[in-house]
Amino acid sequence: MTSSRVQTIPWFLTGRNIFLLGFLLFLSLTGSFLFLCYEHYESIKVQALKEDRASANLLSLLLEEHLEKVVKTMEAYASRPLLIQAIRKQDTTKATEHLAKLVATNPGIDSVVLTDKAANLWAIYPVRPEVIGMNLAHREWYQGVSREWKPYISNAMIRLVGEKDLAVHICVPIFDEQGEVIGILVNTQRTVTLSKIIERIPLDVGARSNVTDRKGYLIFSTRFAYDKELKLYPYYGVKSQITYPGDQSIPLPDPLEKGKTRYLSSSPIESCGWSVFISRDNHVLLKEGLHHYLQLGTTVLLIWVVAFGALLFLRNQILVRQIRERLQAERELFRSEERFRATFEQAAVGMALVGIDGRWLRVNQRLCEITGYPAEDLLTKTFQEITHPDDLDLDLDHVRRLLAGEFPDYSLEKRYLTRDGATVWANLTVGLVRDEQGAPDYFIAVIEDITERMEAEEKLRTLNEDLIRSNRELEQFAYIASHDLQEPLRMVSSYTQLLARRYGELLDQDAKDFIGFAVDGANRMQQLIQDLLAYSRITTRGKPPEPLDSHDALGEAVANLQATIQESGALVTTVDLPRVMGDRGQLVQVFQNLIANAVKFHRPEEPPRIHVSAERTGGFWTFRVADNGIGIESKYFDQVFQVFQRLHTRSEYPGTGIGLAICKRAIERFGGRIWVESEPGTGSTFFFTLPEVPDTKGDNK
Amino acid sequence: MSKNYVGEAIDILLVEDNAGDARLAKEAMRDSKIRNTLHHVGDGEEAMEFLYQKGKHADAPRPDLILLDLNLPRKDGRAVLEEVKTDDNLKRIPVVILTTSSDEQDILRSYNLHANCYITKPIDLTQFLKVVQSIEDFWLTIVKLPNGR
């Protein structure tokens, strides 16, 4: 598998979390949005109200200035000597002329009235004869001006003459030269004139300007109808709550529109006690900010959409990658599974996945062949069920130790019982597969049919046992031969001789000869038996090879043959002989037999000359025993080493013909070889090889 | 040497299953310089009865010399030898092992059991007579020892 690790989705992007996150993001953005909107609204409100207050102040200044100017003009007029003179004379015509002039020269003065000190009207411009002679002492303006005989600006009132609309009176007392009050000059100022001044101040949409008199009646309003009758300004009562010079505006419910709030700003006109009010509709403020809020809201929404979109996109990217990796991994898995399946199915050995309980989970064709069960039958069984009872404990013990973690796997040779009850030998190898947590998951078993091998081994074992038994029997036979065969011989020989001894004088020469033959035969028989025994003892009594000094062995052989050698006048010569591997007693016997032969088969005309030497040839020493005897024809080179093979009659050369056979057997026992080269009439050379002493022994000569 | 060299006849127990060999031994001993009485038993069991003076051998003398064949029926010669050599009353009796084979194992086992002598039964009568001669010599050596000092 290639995808060693799959990228995981951060926790906050999983499942519903991403929507929760989106919602939280939305909440925070909305909160910020609302906060910003509020801040903005507050700031523009503060700004607007500040403007309102500034406007109110400006308006009151303008009005004050205007009224002052009017008062000044009227005062200047009232002090004119001609006017005073006319008043003194009660000359209505003259006075009216003066009044007309005043009106004509001062656009802010609409209509003017002259009264006496007691407020009897006696001149008016524009002329209105019907009002001449009217006493106006009940009028508020008269009470105001007559209080201290100072200029006075009246409250709002409805005009009595002309158009019955709203007006204010500006009154100035007229003094004579002595300072006595001789009359009052009254200007009826229409609010239209004032409104022209007021309207010079531009106001924001939603802001309304209002001017009230001392009692709170509207003199001017851009909001309320005021010029046909006296109207009390609804907010006049809160005037006292507004501190001067203050920078605060107070919110009040809208008297005209339910649920709306208006912010009120105010400024007094000190000279006449009037008040200027500017009220503002907060909804208009909101409306003004609305496009801004929409913009901000759109931006916030956009930010949210982008952010949430980005989160979703990120999550999707990760998901897509995960899916891709999973697909890749699955593809890999499939491929490896495919490979595994092919390997598993086509394996030349039995393979299986085995559950921890021993049940076959998956088996291949070869295993079915080995066990003889079809796969579907095998899968309903456990390995215990088809294991040979004698091998079950061993296998279960291995399984237990494998599960205990004593070894990662094990192999053993065991028997299974096939479907038809036959026994198959198998070489079983079992490995344990653990899951991610390290707990045993299942076993992998490889089962190789080794029945043929086991049968071959069994056969070999049987053969080997047979061989051992046979050897033992041979030994037994040798013993029997040595003991039991000789007894009858002894009887024959001994009693024949006893016969000759006791009754010798009664026997003729023939009888003695016959007895001689019988004894000789028995003796030869015994010799044969003993030679045969000696031959068999080469292996049965042989010792394992050990390092030995062949020179010493030769010396002992010569010593054993001392009598024969002396008798024949033989001469045995040698050079330094090596240390070799072998059985010393047997090597002595080999030398002894070869030298004895050389002495025995010497040419009558020459005394025997025997030379023993050795040379090294690749891991072996080759010994040469050369003589100057009668020699052997080459066709007999092999025959001479066979048991009881003789080339001469017993009368020529005595012996049973066992000597060389014994030599051959002794030499070959150590992996050596023996052979002869010879020329009849010249001599024979017997060769034999023996292994050299391994270097590790360190005592090789 | 004369027969009178040793005054009293000695008792020799021959344990030999082979009648031929037993007869040969008797024949040889008959001509011996030593006066002797040869008692012959055919197997190891009977030999032990003889030595312990049991059953029909209740009156048997204590032998001065045992000639013991190794290969015997019923009770093997080696077992007889072992029993004789571990019995305080019998172990001083010299035992000469007579056997057909020159098998080394027999020799070794016999010596481990303290046989006094070992002699291979020869096939040649002449040699057999020499063996008897050697038994005589052996005997003389034995009997000489206590007296010769």
- Verify whether the Cβ–Cβ distance B24 to A498 is below 8 Å: yes
Whole-angstrom CA distances from A661 to A591, A639, A668 are: 13, 10, 11
Question: Looking at CA atoms only, how far is residue A557 from chain B in angstroms?
Answer: 21
Question: Looking at CA atoms only, how far is residue A497 from chain B in angstroms?
Answer: 6
Give the residue from A582, A516, A589 showing the smallest Cα distance to A558: A589
Which residue from B24, B71, B104 is facing A483, i.e. has the nearest CB? B71
| Mean pLDDT across B57-61 | 85
Report how far residue B79's alpha carbon sits from residue A9's, in angstroms, rounded to the nearest whole number.
95
Question: Looking at CA atoms only, how far is residue A480 from chain B in angstroms?
Answer: 9
Question: Looking at CA atoms only, how far is residue B146 from chain A in angstroms?
Answer: 36
The B-side interface with A (CB below 8 A) comprises: 18, 20-21, 24, 27, 71, 99-104, 121-126, 128
Set of chain A residues whose Cβ sits within 8 Å of the Cβ of B24: 494-495, 498
Query: Which residue of chain A comes nearest to B99, CA vs CA?
Result: A483
- Verify whether the Cβ–Cβ distance A494 to B20 is below 8 Å: yes
- Say what the alpha-carbon torsion angle A211, A212, A218, A221 is, to the nearest 10 degrees: 10
Q: Which of A477, A490, A493, A501 to mutate to test the interface with B (most CBs of B within 10 A)?
A: A490
Q: Report the DSSP pairing between strands A423-434 and A440-449.
A: antiparallel
**Which residues, other chains included, contact A230 with Cβ-Cβ below 8 Å and sequence gap of 6+?**
A156, A157, A158, A166, A217, A218
Which residue from A483, A491, A497 is facing B101, i.e. has the nearest CB? A483
Report how far residue A250's alpha carbon sits from residue A270's, in angstroms, rounded to the nearest whole number.
21
End-to-end Cα spacing for chain A: 66
- Verify whether the Cβ–Cβ distance A498 to B125 is below 8 Å: yes
- Verify whether the Cβ–Cβ distance B101 to A495 is below 8 Å: no
Q: Beta-carbon neighbour count of residue A31 at 10 Å?
A: 11
Name residues 491-510 of chain A within 8 A of B (Cβ): 491, 493-495, 497-498, 501
Report how far residue A110's alpha carbon sits from residue A191's, in angstroms, rounded to the nearest whole number.
10
The domains found in chain A, sorted by start residue, are 10-309 (3.30.450.20), 347-449 (3.30.450.20), 457-528 (no CATH), 544-697 (3.30.565.10)
Report how far residue A414's alpha carbon sits from residue A473's, in angstroms, rounded to the nearest whole number.
34
In the block, tokens 């092992």 appear at B97
Quick one: pLDDT at residue B122? 67
A364-387: b or e for each residue (b if 16 or more CB lie within 10 Å)?
Answer: bebbbebbbbeeeebeeeebeebb
Q: Which of A482, A487, A494 to mutate to test the interface with B (most CBs of B within 10 A)?
A: A494
- A479 part of contact set with chain B, CB < 8 Å: yes
- A584 part of contact set with chain B, CB < 8 Å: no
The domains found in chain B, sorted by start residue, are 3-148 (3.40.50.2300)
Set of chain A residues whose Cβ sits within 8 Å of the Cβ of B120: none
Report how far residue A485's alpha carbon sits from residue B44's, in angstroms, rounded to the nearest whole number.
22
The CA R_g of chain B, rounded to the nearest whole Å, is 15
Quick one: pLDDT at residue B82? 84
Query: Which residue of chain A comes nearest to B122, CA vs CA?
Result: A490
Helix (H) or strand (E) holding B147: helix B125-148
Give the residue from B148, B147, B109, B116 showing the smallest Cα distance to B134: B116
Question: Residues A323, A422: contact at Cβ < 8 Å?
Answer: no
Per-residue tokens: A206: 């939603």
Beta bridge partners of A434: A440
| Mean pLDDT across B80-109 | 75
Q: Is the dihedral of CA B108, B113, B116, B118 positive or negative?
A: negative
Query: Which residue of chain B comes nearest to A490, CA vs CA?
Result: B123
Which residue from B24, B101, B104 is facing A494, i.e. has the nearest CB? B24
The 10s digit of each residue's pLDDT in B4-56 is 444 577 888 999 888 888 888 888 777 777 778 888 888 888 888 898 888 88
Any idea what the Cα angle at residue A470 is, between residues A464 and A472, rounded to 5°?
105
Size of interface A-B (CB pairs under 8 A): 52
Q: Beta-carbon neighbour count of residue B127 at 10 Å?
A: 14
Name residues 537-566 of chain A within 8 A of B (Cβ): 541
Q: What is the mean pLDDT of each run of 10 residues along chain A (701 residues)?
A: 54 78 87 86 82 86 88 88 86 87 82 88 85 86 89 85 80 88 88 81 82 87 82 81 64 79 84 85 76 85 88 86 88 85 85 91 90 90 91 92 90 91 90 88 90 87 88 74 74 83 84 84 81 77 83 90 87 88 88 89 86 88 90 85 77 78 87 89 90 66 40
Set of chain B residues whose Cβ sits within 8 Å of the Cβ of A483: 71, 99-101, 103
- Verify whether the Cβ–Cβ distance A494 to B124 is below 8 Å: yes
Report how far residue A282's alpha carbon sits from residue A286's, in angstroms, rounded to the nearest whole number.
6
Which residue from A483, A487, A497 is facing B126, i.e. has the nearest CB? A497
On the 0-12 / 13-18 / 19+ scale of CB atoms within 10 A, A672 is: buried
- Verify whether the Cβ–Cβ distance B100 to A501 is below 8 Å: no
The size of chain B, in residues, is 149
Query: Which residue of chain B comes nearest to A522, CA vs CA?
Result: B123
Q: Which of B101, B104, B108, B126 to mutate to test the interface with A (most CBs of A within 10 A)?
A: B101
Main-chain phi, psi angles of A50, to 5 degrees? -60, -45
Query: Which residue of chain B comes nearest to A541, CA vs CA?
Result: B104
- Verify whether the Cβ–Cβ distance A493 to B104 is below 8 Å: no
Whole-angstrom CA distances from A201 to A61, A227, A573, B66 are: 11, 20, 161, 172
Report how far residue A160's alpha carbon sits from residue A275's, in angstroms, rounded to the nearest whole number.
24
The DSSP code sequence of A233-280 is: -TTGGGGGGS-TT----EEEE-SSSTT-EEEEEEEEETTTTEEEEEEE
Report how far residue A25's alpha carbon sits from residue A13's, in angstroms, rounded to the nearest whole number.
13
A557-569: b or e for each residue (b if 16 or more CB lie within 10 Å)?
Answer: bbebbeeebeeee
Main-chain phi, psi angles of A231, to 5 degrees? -130, 130
ipTM of the prediction: 0.71
- A127 part of contact set with chain B, CB < 8 Å: no
Helix (H) or strand (E) holding A187: strand A181-190
- A605 part of contact set with chain B, CB < 8 Å: no
Give the 3-state secondary structure of residue B42.
coil
Query: Which residue of chain B comes nearest to A516, CA vs CA?
Result: B124
Per-residue tokens: B140: 């003389």
| Helix spans in A541-673 (H) | 550-560, 562-568, 584-600, 659-669
In the block, tokens 């653990």 appear at A434
Quick one: pLDDT at residue A486? 75
Set of chain B residues whose Cβ sits within 8 Å of the Cβ of A498: 24, 27, 125
Q: Beta-carbon neighbour count of residue B60 at 10 Å?
A: 18
- A522 part of contact set with chain B, CB < 8 Å: yes
Report how far residue B149's alpha carbon sits from residue B147's, in angstroms, rounded to the nearest whole number.
6
Report how far residue A355's alpha carbon sits from residue A358's, in angstroms, rounded to the nearest whole number.
5
- Verify whether the Cβ–Cβ distance A498 to B27 is below 8 Å: yes
Q: Report the DSSP pairing between strands A423-434 and A409-417.
A: antiparallel
- Verify whether the Cβ–Cβ distance B123 to A483 is below 8 Å: no
